[in-house]
Chain A
């Protein structure tokens, strides 16, 4: 069953096209990374999915139309829109009271347990917390909600590495406990690549590539090509070439593994390298990114 399904999702701001017919399907229980550069349309897509933005095309989330039923959808969906959208005047205890007041699926005891692992005090105001602590607080609010869908939009932008790591560790621990559907939009691929089950590469409002990580690992293969095999490797039409300290690294799409093994060491590409390859391939004239 698809948790999120969009068909021909399109959004323009004046003459600027933010989403250009995005088709997206997120299956129940997946951790879907929405990866793209700044201005690719990630936030716009998430806002449309959560009923925060009017749009063209159809969107169904947890069986609802988000635009007309945002309040009902938000009982089952939790959202971290960005770092630092929590009201600065709010006390931590107020945030817990309010969340419990408006949402019966919010469990204040669990939120307190989660906060107990941080340095955040219940009587503190959000304005007194560091940026990293605000992100921790927001994550605690979200994880203490028994939501079927958790949507995170650049939740760790500009945070210290330590906070980022803790953030995703708590998210993953929670996921393994209760398995919900999680959608994370970010341009910081390195932070999320180890926790994703599914990917969507997005650029200029369009999906460049989407699928499960296993599917992508089957389809794409990276080879550190031996110097004498460079010509043979190019003949197989790699979608991307780069030089690193270890030698020339070629990325192939749907090429027989045994033939690739003859060229050098093969390995699955990292999400970041795959993203680089796919975006540069799609921006090369004459070769559109496939999906």
Chain B
């Protein structure tokens, strides 16, 4: 049957619909969850790397007793052999989360424009600010927590395997357990993830802006202009300010936030230097730049449609 204009004039359209405001933070929570549904690499890639590290460690555990015997009775050398994998295993996992973060950001505000699903997301009662915040939360909060948790689990697995190997090889576990600061390590890792999130924030922000702005090839737009600027500066004036600051932004977090002597592994709380890190202008300028980038993302997102 065809509805008539009478049905249309019927005041049903004026019925009182109760105002429906979702609880605060709920749209953000679900927006983050949807990012994890779409981007399973966020947790799968670090898990995979952690698993590979653990498998590598199983093999290493078989040759460990022979290595230790070859090192002789020098405790310093023995300790170096034991601590290397213990410190390196979580580092591999955490490094993976940074890489995942970079690749996530460069696609985050581009993909749904390219495949047209932005029209679905924008038809939901989620503000552009919430959408951008949810995407920024992946590299700034979710990935650091994943890196910390999986890094710790990987480290405990390495510790367990090493212990089994030592006991089976007749060395006893004392050598290892005496040289690793078991309780300090998780705090060191948590600190490491936090300072890196803060330090990399302007990089993540830049990648997000490019992914919100570029009409094609966001990766090229993100990488080529900074490199071109560095090259241009060097060619025209012979100086390397741009290149140096870019490199500092990529690799500077450890020297800014830790006290490192002779590339020794960072294991102890005494090696952390939060006061120096927080007093660094580079940290605050970076944070401000990141905030401006995110603001730009919100503006770009409001105007964004399918490509």
A85 and B8 in contact (CB under 8 A), knowing A28-B13, A98-B33? no
- Interface size bucket, B side? 35 or more
- Cα of A105 to Cα of B18 in the assembled complex, Å: 9
Contact A75 to B37, CB < 8 A, known contacts A47-B305, A82-B119, A214-B5: no
From B303, which residue of chain A is reached at the shortest CB distance?
A54
Chain A contacts with B in 8-47, Cβ cutoff 8 A: 27-31, 47
Beta-carbon contact of B22 and A102 below 8 Å: yes
A97-109 interface code vs B (CB 8 A; 1 in, 0 out): 1110111110000
| Interface 9-residue window, one of B23-31, B179-187, B216-224 | B23-31
| Given A53-B305, A172-B3, A101 and B29 contact (CB-CB distance below 8 Å) | yes
Indicate whether A103 sits within 8 Å of B37 (C-beta atoms), given known contacts A74-B125, A179-B13, A197-B5.
Answer: no
Q: What residue of chain A has the Cβ atom nearest to residue B123's Cβ?
A: A79
Complex-state Cα separation, A32 to B17, whole angstroms: 21
Check: A59 CB closer than 8 A to any chain B CB.
Answer: no
B122 within 8 A of A: yes
**Contacting B123 at CB < 8 Å: which of A50, A87, A148?**
A50
Cβ contacts under 8 Å, B127 to chain A: 70-71
Is B247 an interface residue when CB atoms closer than 8 A count as contact?
no
Bound together, the chains give a CA A162 to CA B31 distance in angstroms of: 35
Q: Is A76 an interface residue (CB 8 A)?
A: yes
Distance in Å: Cβ of B112 to nearest Cβ of chain A = 8
Residues of B within 8 A of A213 (CB): 2, 4-5
Q: With contacts A30-B8, A70-B127, A86-B117 known, is A102 near B305, CB below 8 A?
A: no
Contacts of A27 in B (CB 8 A): 8-9, 13
Bound together, the chains give a CA A88 to CA B114 distance in angstroms of 13
Known: A52-B305, A85-B116, A148-B17. A101 touches B33 (CB 8 A): yes
Chain A residues whose C-beta falls within 8 Å of the C-beta of B8 in the assembled complex = 27-31, 197-198, 212
Q: Which of A47, A104, A181, A195 contacts B2 (CB 8 A)?
A: A195
**Is the CB of A7 closer than 8 A to any CB of chain B?**
no
Q: Is A175 an interface residue (CB 8 A)?
A: yes
Main SS class of interface, B = helix
Query: B120–A214 contact, CB under 8 A?
Result: no
A176 contacts partner chain B, Cβ-Cβ < 8 Å: yes
Query: Does A245 sit at the interface, judged by CB under 8 A?
Result: no
Given the known interface contacts A52-B122, A85-B117, A172-B3, the answer about A101 and B26 at a Cβ–Cβ threshold of 8 Å is yes
In the complex, the chain A residue whose C-beta lies closest to that of B124 is A102
Interface contact tally, CB-CB below 8 A = 142
Pair B7/A102 contact, Cβ less than 8 Å: no
For B8, B29, B130, the residue with the greatest tally of chain A CB atoms inside 10 Å of its CB is B8
A242 sits at the interface (CB 8 A):
no
Closest residue of A by beta carbon distance from B129: A71
CB atoms of A103 and B17 under 8 A apart: no
**B236 interface residue per 8 A CB criterion:** no
Q: Tell me the smallest distance from the CB of B5 to a CB of chain A, in Å.
A: 4
- The docked-state distance in angstroms from the alpha carbon of A67 to that of B147 is 39
* Distance from A11 Cβ to chain B, minimum over Cβ atoms (Å): 12
Asked whether A229 is an interface residue with its Cβ less than 8 Å from the other chain, the reply is no
B167 contacts the other chain (Cβ, under 8 Å)? no
Instruction: Name the residue in B7, B20, B120 with the highest tally of chain A Cβ atoms < 10 Å from its Cβ.
Output: B120
Per the bound structure, the CA–CA distance linking A91 and B117 in Å amounts to 14
Please state if A101 and B125 are interface contacts (CB–CB under 8 Å).
Answer: no
Q: In the docked arrangement, what's the CA distance between A87 and B130, Å? A: 19
B122, A70: Cβ atoms under 8 Å?
Answer: yes
The 7 closest A-B pairs by CB, nearest first: A29-B13, A28-B13, A101-B30, A81-B119, A179-B12, A79-B123, A71-B127
Residues of A within 8 A of B (CB): 1, 3, 27-31, 47, 50, 52-54, 70-72, 74-76, 78-82, 84-91, 94, 97-99, 101-105, 146, 148, 172, 175-176, 178-181, 194-198, 212-215
A/B interface sample: 17 pairs, CB < 8 A = A29-B9, A47-B305, A70-B122, A71-B128, A74-B122, A75-B21, A75-B125, A80-B123, A82-B116, A85-B119, A86-B117, A87-B38, A99-B124, A102-B125, A148-B13, A148-B17, A176-B7
